Structure 1
C-alpha cells in the first residue's frame, strides 16, 4: 500500500516531497491483476502480438472504445547502423531457414517466404533513407469505478483488441510498473517492445476516433439520450444526449428526399421513451400516424372548429407584464400577416403606433386591464382590434384596418374568428398546418410556436409537469424562415429555451434561407447539436463554409445515402446511418410512402 501525505500536512519548502501529495492519488493499493487508485480501479494490458499487416487507423478500435481506457505508446528510434545490423541478422536467419528446408526436401514455408520478402524490402528502404525503425510498446490502462465493472471492461477491451488481431495480456504482478508506464512521465518500466517501421507506426496516427467520446474521468455517465444510428466508419452505436450539451437546441439541414423527416420521427419516438414532452410543427401531416400510435394530440390548424386567439392571456399567469407580452406578440403577428399577403415593408412607425393603441383599446373594451384578476375574462379577438383601428379614425389606423380585413372579416378569418378552442396537452402534441392556405402557413406556424412557448415559459407554480424537459420541433422551417419576424421569433426561442429545460429543433431543406441571414446564422450558433444530411451541389459550398467542414466531409454530404448524416456536437463529428426496428419503421414512414421502403 502506497499512501500520499496530505498537502496541508507537508512542511513548507519540501517541493519534491510534496509533489506526489499534490498531484497524485490519496492512496494506491497494489494487487496481482489490478490497482485501487484512490476511489477507482485500474488494470493495465500489454500488447504482445500484432498482425502481419496493418492498415490506416489500426488503433482506432482501441482509441474509440466506449469507456475510459488510456492507450499509451512508447516510441524509441533505432540508430540507422543498429537497424541495418538487425535487418542483416534477421535476413540471415530467414535465409538459413529456407536453405535448411530445401536441403531436407521440405516444402517452402509461406510465412518464411513472406517474412524474407518483407525483410528484403524493408532493408532496401532503410538503406536509402525512405524508412526508419523504431522500438515501440503499446499499453492500455483500463479504468472503472468498481471491481465488477473493471473485470467486464477489461474483457471488453481484450475482445476489441482481438478483433483487429492484437494480442493482449494483463501485467500480472507488474501492475504498478505498468500503470506508471501509462502516466505522462515518459518512463517505460515494462519494456515490452516490438520493432516497427515508419509506415506501420504512422498508420496508427493520428490517435483520433470516429466515435463520440465517453464521459470524462470523474463525470457521471449520461442517464438520458437517444440512439441516432450506427457509425458508418466503425459500426459502433451513435448515442447522443442533447440535454448534456451546452444548450439543448439542434438544427437539421438536408435536401428533399435525404431522410431527414424519418430521422426526426425516430428521435421524437425515442425522446418520448426518455420522458421528454415533444411539440411538433408539422406542415405536411407526417406525424399523425406516430401521434396516434403513442396517444398524442393532433391539432389541425385550418379545420373549421380549430381557432387560436393570439390575444389570450393565461388565467394562471400572474406575471405583471403578461398583458404587455400579448400586445407585443400582436405586433409580431400582424407583421407576419402583412408579409404573407405580399405587402412589402410590414407596418411603418405610424401604423405601429396605431396598432398599439388599438390593441390596448380592445383589451379595455373587453374589461381586461393590467390587473391579473381581470385576465380570467374572455380576451378580445383580432376583429376587435380591427374595429378599434376603424374607431381610431386616423388615416394610418383606417389603412391598417383595411390591410388586416382578409384575416378579420375576409377569406382567412376562420383561424382567428373566435376564442381558442384547443389546448396543447399530452406528451406529444402535433400542430398540423397542412390544411392552412399558403397565406396562413407562416402565421399559423407562428401562432403554434407562440402557444408552445407559453407552455414552456409558464411560471413554476402554473406548470403541472414540474419542470419537465420539452422538445420543440419545427419541421420544414423554410416556411417560417422566409419571414423576418418568424426568424426573429425562432432566434429568441433558441436563446431562451435552455434556461427553461427546453430544446428547439429546426429542420429545413432550404439551407440558403438559414445560412443567408444573420438571424439564421444566430439560430445555428445557438444550436449545440447540428445534423447535416445529403446536400445539393449548389448548396454544399455554403454549408461547408458555415460549418467548417473538411473536403472529405463535404464530399460525404454530396454522396450520402438516404438516412446517412453527419452529427456535429461541439468539436466532435461522427457520421451515422439511421436504424430502426420494424415497429418504429412502420410508424416513421409517411402516409404516402411504401412501408417496405428503408430509410
Structure 2
C-alpha cells in the first residue's frame, strides 16, 4: 500500500530551475552535454557509446510532391532530418532560367533527337517556363536549401544496417552521399548552432512551392510540450503526448472490441490525469477500477441491491442555474431541470411511458406536488438546502397511490406505479430509495455497477442517475478540472428511447464550459450508435464532440458501423491495423489509431511498471519476471 502510494504520488507544482542562474560555469555545462570520448572514422563517428553518421543529400528527383519524405520521417530508427534554408535573390535565377529555356528549345529542334530525350527535354522546358513565369510575376521566391540525414545507433553494425535501409528506400527520391573523412564536419552541421560545414555537397536551389514539399506535414507524431502520455507511436517508437488543456475540449471516446485493450488504456489514462491534479469520476459497469482506486486512497462506491450507497434522484445539488460559455442560463429553473431529468429516468424504468402523453403530463403534476410537500417550488432558493430536505422515491410512490385512489384522472399512472415498486420497496430499493449518502470530497471516485449486471435495465437507470448527479457536481465548481469516465457507454443507448444517450451527448457539448471533459468507452459500437432521433444520432454526436479518439482492434462489422453511421474515415493501412479476426485478438490488443483533431498516429497502449503492477499483477510478473 505504501509502496503503491510512492509510485503514484500526485504532481505538486514546483518552480522550474533557471539554468542560467544555476549554472554559471559555461565549461561545466558543456561537460554535462558532451560525450566522454569522440572517435572519428572514415564514414562514422563514435560519441561515447553511440555511433552516428551524417549523410548529405546531393540531389532530388525532378518530380517531388508533398509527403515524398514520409518514409524518412516515419522510420522507427533514430533518424533526424536537418535543413539549412536561406532566401536568395531571384534575379540570378531568372537569368539562368532564361538561358535554360533557350537551350531546351534549341535542342528540341535537333533532327535526330531520340524520343526518350525529347520527352525529358519537354518536361524540363515546361518546368523551367513555369518557374520563370512565377518568378517574373512575383508569385514565387527562391531559396538555397541544404538537407542532411543524421543517423544514430548503439553499434556500428546497426548503424550500417540503418544506412543501407535509408539509401534503399529513398533512392528514387533523393541521392545520399557519405562525406568520407569529413564526418566530424558533417556532425557539426546537424547541431542547432546555424553552422553548415559541408555546403558544397548539399547546395540546391528551390522555389517556394518546391521547398514546401520538404516540410514534414506528413510526419505522424503527436507530441506536446507537456500533457498526458497516451502510449507509444507504432511507426516511430516515440511517445504520444497530448496536452488536453490546449485542445478545443477535453472530451475523448474509446472504441474497441472485447479484449482489444480498452480497459487497460482507460486505467492508464485515469492514473496519469489523476496524478496531474484532475478530479476523476468513473462509471464502472464491469467492476474493474474500484479496488485499484481504493488502494490509491480513492473512493469505491458500489451501487447494489445489497448495500446502502444511495444517490437520491430527487436531490437538487446546484444552488444556482448553470450557464453556458455565453453566460446564458441552461434551464429556466433548477426544479424544471430536475423534473425533466426525472421524467427521462422514469422512461428508462418503464419503457411504455415515453409514448403515453397523458401519463407523462400527470406524472409531471405529481412531481410538482411531491416537491411542494417538501416546501420546494419553482422559486425556491436552494443555497441552504440539505440532502435530507428533498423527497425520495417512496414519497412519489405514496403520492401516486393516494391520487389514484382519490382522483380518477390519475389512473393512467397505474402501469408506472407497478413498475416503481421494485425501486421503492423491492429488490432495487437500497440503490434508489433514500437520502443521498455518497461523499464527493475525494478526487478519485469509482461508481461500481457490477452487481446490477443481471438486473435487466437497472444498469441503464443507475448509470443515468449517476451521470446527472456527476453533472451537477461538475457545474458547481468551474475551478476544478473534472474528467468523467463512462465505461460501457452503450448501456445508455436504446433505439426505442434515445433520451439517456441524448443526455450524454449534451454533457459532451457543454462540459467544456465548466473546465471538464468526458471519456466514453464502448466495446459494442453498433449499440452505441443506435440511439437515433430523427436525423440526430447521439452516439455519433459523442464522437463528433470528442477532439481525441482512440480506435482499438475491432471486427469488420464494427468497422462497417463506424464507416456507415459516422463521418470518421480510415485508410486501407489503418483498417488493416484495426480490423482483426478472433484468433488475432490477443496479439493485436492495445494497438490502434489515436486521433487528435485532424492528426492520426498508430498507437500502442502501454502501462508503466507501477501502473501494470496495480492493474494486473500476473501480467506484471510475466512481463518483468518478478
- Smaller-chain TM-score range? 0.5 to 0.7
1:549 paired with 2:556, answer no
- 1:308 equivalent among 308, 311, 317: 311
Alpha-carbon shift at residue 274 of structure 1 (Å) = 1.1
Q: 1:398 aligns with which of 399, 414, 419?
A: 414
Q: Counterparts of 2:529 and 2:369 in 1: how far apart (Å)? A: 40
CA distance in 1, matches of 2:302, 2:602: 36
Superposition deviation, residue 572 in structure 1 = 0.3
Secondary structure of the 1:257 match is coil
**Residue in 2 that maps onto 1:260:** 262
Aligned to 1:420: 436
Offset at 1:210?
4.3
* SS at 2:554 equivalent: coil
Q: Deviations over 1:150-180 (max 9, x none)?
A: xxxxxx98869x97658745679xx9998xx
Q: Could you tell me which residue of structure 2 aligns to residue 579 of structure 1?
A: 606
Q: Secondary structure at the match of 2:248?
A: coil
- The 1:420–1:125 alpha-carbon spacing in structure 2 relative to 1, beyond 3 Å, is farther
Deviation, 1:550, is: 1.1
Q: Name the residue aligned to 1:523.
A: 542
Instruction: After superposition, give the CA deviation of every residue in 1:464-502 in whole Å (9 maximum; x if it has no partner).
Output: xx7111110000111112351210110111111101011
| Superposition map of 1:122-521 within 5 A | 138-139=145-146, 165=163, 168=186, 192-193=201-202, 207-213=216-222, 221=225, 223=226, 225-302=227-304, 303-314=306-317, 317=320, 321-339=333-351, 344=352, 346-369=354-377, 370-372=379-381, 375-376=385-386, 378-392=389-403, 393=407, 394=409, 395-436=411-452, 437-458=455-476, 463=477, 467-482=479-494, 484-516=498-530, 517=532, 518-521=537-540
Indicate how the Cα distance of structure 1 residues 304 and 169 shifts in structure 2: closer, same or farther if over 3 A, else same: closer
How far is 1:387 from its partner?
2.0
State the distance in 2 between where 1:140 and 1:390 align.
83
Displacement of 1:548 after TM fit?
Answer: 1.3
- Mapped pair 1:558 → 2:574: no
| Contact 1:318–1:372 under 8 Å retained in 2 | no
1:365 Cα shift? 1.4
Equivalents in 2 of 1:544, 1:71: separation in Å? 43
In structure 2, do the counterparts of structure 1 residues 176 and 566 end up closer, same or farther at CA, with 3 Å as the change threshold?
Answer: closer
- Unaligned 5+ residue runs, structure 2? 1-53, 62-67, 88-92, 105-113, 128-142, 164-177, 323-331, 581-586
Contact persistence 1:210–1:233 (CA under 8 A)? no
Cα RMSD between the aligned structures? 4.6
Structure 2 residue matching 1:457: 3-state secondary structure: helix
Q: 1:67 to 1:317 in 2, by over 3 A?
A: farther
Work out the CA distance in 1 between the residues paired with 2:574 and 2:401.
58
Matched residue of 2:480: which SS? coil
Give the 3 Å change call, closer, same or farther, for CA 345–313 of structure 1 in structure 2: closer
Give the match's secondary structure for 1:312. Answer: coil
Alignment match, 2:45: none
Cα offset, 1:588, TM superposition: 2.1
For these two proteins, the number of residue pairs brought into alignment is: 462
**Match among 580, 589, 592 for residue 616 of structure 2:** 589
Contact 1:283 1:476 in 2 (8 A): yes
**Structure 1 pair 492–256 and aligned structure 2 pair: CA distance change class (3 A):** same
Rounded to whole Å, the distance in 2 between the matches of 1:67 and 1:371 is 65
> 1-side partners of 2:151 and 2:349: how far apart?
64
Residue 347 of structure 1: how far off its partner (Å): 4.8
Name the CA shift for 1:597/1:484 in 2 (closer, same or farther; >3 Å).
farther
Q: Using the alignment, how far apart are the partners of 1:48 and 1:137 within structure 2?
A: 18
Residues 30-80 of structure 1: per-residue CA shift (max 9 Å, x gap): xxxxxxxxxxxxxxxxx8625999997453169999999867699999999
Q: Which residue of 1 aligns with 2:17?
A: none
Q: Distance in 2 between matches of 1:474 and 1:456?
A: 15
Structure 1 432/68 Cα, relative in aligned 2: closer, same or farther at 3 Å? farther
Structure 1 residues not aligned, in runs of 5+: 1-46, 84-123, 142-155, 179-189, 216-220
CA gap 1:371/1:551 in 2 versus in 1, 3 angstroms? same
> Is the Cα–Cα contact under 8 Å of residues 281 and 432 in structure 1 kept in the other structure?
yes
Aligned twin of 2:22 = none
Distance 1:66 1:309 in 2: 59
Deviation at 1:245, TM superposition (A): 1.4
Q: Distance in 2 between matches of 1:266 and 1:71?
A: 40
Distance in 2 separating the partners of 1:58 and 1:390: 73
Give the drift of 1:195: 9.3
